[in-house]
A and B are shown apart, each in its own frame.
Chain A
Amino acid sequence: MRAEVILGFDPVPGEASGVLAVSETLHKTIRALAEARMGLDSVIRSGSVFEGRSGEPIVSIMLRISRRLLNLEDAVVETRTALELWRTGLDQRQSEVAEIVRAVAESAGQPDAEERRNRLLGQASDLGDQHQRAAADLAAAFETLSARAAETTRADNALVGDLDRALTALELAVEGWIETEGPELIKTAIALGEVAGLTTVISELVGIAALGRVPGEADGVSETIARSPGSHRLIRALRQQWLELAPETLPEATFATSQSAVASIVAGVQPTGSDAGGEEQDTIGSGG
């Protein structure tokens, strides 16, 4: 029985299925925002290669994106909470109105039921007032969401340029580190028995775990590691006695020669990659 027909008006308008659809959409949005944020956070979390002075600006910039995602996510979560409150109230009020509609319909044609009908209509009107107040709260919640979304859309024109500069600075820091630590790096690489190139030294050092060696075999390794702009992972490996970092977790690096051109330059000799010896292209993966 339709309230409009029996009562002359619907005091509690609203489609429950529509509420559910909005709720599911907000849920999908929350999940997407959370996935996006957590993926980004996992790359810059404590212990990542970006930990430390050289990587800190990059972490800071990524956090600017992450915080925007989180702010939006929080706003949607709060709005969905308000929507769920609305849904609960809507169900309850519509159930009560359905009872009133049924009672009013049953009283039709009964000459002595006028007073009862008026009382029921009064109850329906009260429910309508409650409904209007709850709807105003719902509207306010979504208006707040609009405002917080607008905050997110405010341009951060500097971010991309900042990231570019931070990455350039990191590269310079790494180059500076190679220049400073070159001899020690070569010594370390030789000590590991595989001069695969400076660019794999970190992988090699971490991969030492898989080779069953111990850090102390290469003099100065830990000191070199400690000064590296991207040394945290190695420091962590040292602290874990080289046992817990599996080689498959390490990055792969592809090189044209078995002897690194970088290593050769740092060592003061010409790169050997173009030699007739024809070194094969090595793929050095995971330091193993």
Chain B
Amino acid sequence: MMVADPNKGVTVSPMPLVGTEVRRLGAALDEVSTQLSVAIKALTEFPLASIATPRADAAVGAALSDLAEACGVLRTLSDDSAAVTTRHTMAGAVDAS
């Protein structure tokens, strides 16, 4: 439902009752994404030294790579979910047209 204010040229859609909470959900999903980026950075940006036998070293390297990939998948999931919450709260946005 749009309400026009001719004095200010601002169009406002009243915020849904749960808009703030949905936005909070979106913010939490954004934070998930941010934290996963931190994890991915940590996992991919350090030199892997030999810490044991060659087989163990290979397993460590592979696991850290797999872990970074898993974090990347979860980050995409949280990004996509956050985008959905944004779409659902757009009705509450103020459009300075």
Contacts and interface: CB of A to CB of B under 8 A. Distances in A.
Interface in A140-160: 140, 142-143, 145-146, 149-150, 152-153, 155-156, 159-160
A245 interface: no
A175 B40 CA distance: 41
Interface residues of A, number: 88
A152 B73 contact: yes
A29 interface: yes
A159 B79 CA distance: 12
Contact of B52 (A14, A174, A253): A14
Given A39-B28, A65-B32, A262 B14 contact: yes
A72 B10 contact: no
A184 to B, nearest CB: 14
Interface string B1-40: 1011111101110111111111011001101101110110
A224 interface: no
Interface of A: 13-15, 17-19, 21-22, 25, 28-29, 32-33, 35-37, 39-40, 42-44, 48-50, 58, 61-62, 65, 68-69, 72, 76, 79, 86, 90, 131-132, 134-136, 138-140, 142-143, 145-146, 149-150, 152-153, 155-156, 159-160, 163-164, 167-168, 170-171, 174, 177-178, 197-199, 201-202, 229-230, 251-257, 260-262, 265, 271, 273-274, 278-279, 281
Interface of B: 1, 3-8, 10-12, 14-22, 24-25, 28-29, 31-32, 34-36, 38-39, 42-43, 46-53, 55-56, 58-60, 62-64, 66-67, 69-71, 73-74, 77-78, 80-81, 84-85, 87-88, 94
